Amino acid sequence: MLPVFVRRSAPGGEAVDEAVLPGELGAPGEPIRAETLVARRREGPFLPFFQALREDPTLRAVFARALQLPALRRLRPWRTWLLAGLVPLLVVAELERELWSSGVAPVGARLFTDLFVCGYVASDLVRPVPRHPRVCALLLFAVTARYLFMIAAARGHGLSAMMWVAPAIALTAAIGVWSLVPTRAALVARILARFRLVVPEAPRAAVPRAIPRALAAAVGVPAALLATRALGGNLWVQAAVFLVAGGLAAWLGRARPATAENVPTWDTRSQLLRLGEAVALGLAVTLGLAGLAHYLVGAGSEVLKLTEPELYERAVSRFLQADAAETSRQIEGVRTRYVFVVMSTLAGPVLEELVYRHALQRALRERFGVARAIAMTAVVFALAHLGVYRAALYQTVLLGVGFGIAYEEGGILAAICVHVVWNAYLLL
């Protein structure tokens, strides 16, 4: 079993790092408090025990296994059955591979995302202590919605038995992952409960001064673009205005520099690992939310077309056409010139993430917490795109959630990477 390093104060006032087995912490000779500084390696970073459990998944897994939590014991016999939920997605991926190799349909990008989803869910669920079970469940729910959409689009005719069984398999696995696999918060709470520790409540901060400044920056960029468009500026002028306004907004809403007191000093290897995991997590959340929404809306519209054709033609059909037209018009407009490809896949994501995540979300987090900050920033991010997307506004909100989670897990570079990859994916 891997030891845990605990930093204690020596009689002379010096810090002493001791290697202790996780199961021995909390014993009479090894007392521990929520604020006790711990680390997985002697070189650190040392964090308060409750914070280290939240931020370091490996340390969390070490304690969860050492304490033999009942939730992990219950998970063992079900792990293989939960992984069976990927079979429906592998079936679709194989079909797309055949279509792609034969040149019948351009499904290369979709095939790549399907393989990524399979790899992400499989790699997380095979861990002794899965890190993001709710994300895995979300992806499996999206697979279920995808099959429901295909069944509804085919009117249930001419389908193989697999098409009917597959959504049941994916849905059962999604529910199983959601209910059986403990989340990060649940694991942290159970580990702390074993040591009879209570997390100290953080004092509720006043409204930070950075929030009005960040909101002004977030509103200023779309306002400048709308004004340029109203004055008849062409695409080149709009691109120049976006670069200038985005740069000024990023500078205006810039976050205060991090200090050694509130940010751990991770080594280069740990930073790269955290960045890669954060990018993968952000992409998984983005694909899961976007896919679930897209296929549920598609399946519902197909059912409504059969049951309520008048309502479908009067409202839903117009909405779907507007949604598709907005997306295709924007993508085709970008594809026509290489400079706009660069703007969409590089300059745009960088400036938007600096403004909305690194400035606005970070400021909101200090006052409202992580979850509310992600949600509020995603809404503001979507409203800033009203000049481009209106029917697809709900999808933009979901994308903002995915980018925001990537930012919280891996910082601004992770959010930029996810945004860049997603925009590039849309152009393929």
Residues 6 or more apart in contact with residue 403 via CB below 8 angstroms: 282, 286, 353, 356, 357, 378, 381, 415, 418, 419
Strand pairing category for 4-9 and 37-39: antiparallel
**Would you kindly state where each structural domain of the chain is located, as residue ranges?**
4-68, 72-185, 208-258+268-427
Residues 6 or more apart in contact with residue 35 via CB below 8 angstroms: 48, 49, 50, 200
CB 184 within 8 A of CB 53: no
pLDDT tens for the 428 residues of the chain, in order: 678 888 877 666 667 777 777 767 766 556 778 888 888 888 878 888 888 888 889 889 988 988 888 988 899 899 989 999 999 999 988 888 888 777 766 677 888 899 999 999 999 999 999 999 999 999 999 999 999 999 998 888 888 888 899 999 999 999 999 999 999 999 999 998 888 887 766 665 555 677 888 888 888 888 888 888 788 877 778 778 888 888 888 887 766 554 444 455 566 777 888 899 999 999 999 999 999 998 998 898 888 888 888 877 777 777 777 776 666 666 665 555 666 677 778 888 999 999 999 989 998 988 888 999 999 999 999 988 887 776 678 888 999 999 999 999 999 999 999 999 998 888 77
Residues 6 or more apart in contact with residue 340 via CB below 8 angstroms: 235, 239, 333, 334
Nearest to 288 by CA among 418, 147, 138, 171: 138
| pLDDT tens figures, 302-351 | 888 888 888 777 777 777 777 766 666 666 655 556 666 777 788 889 99
CB 1 within 8 A of CB 21: yes
Nearest to 361 by CA among 313, 405, 299: 405
Distance, in Å, from the CA atom of 298 to the CA atom of 320, rounded to the nearest integer, reads: 9
Task: For the sheet with 15-20, list strands across it.
Answer: 15-20, 4-9, 37-39, 47-48
Overall pTM surpassing 0.85 (yes/no):
yes
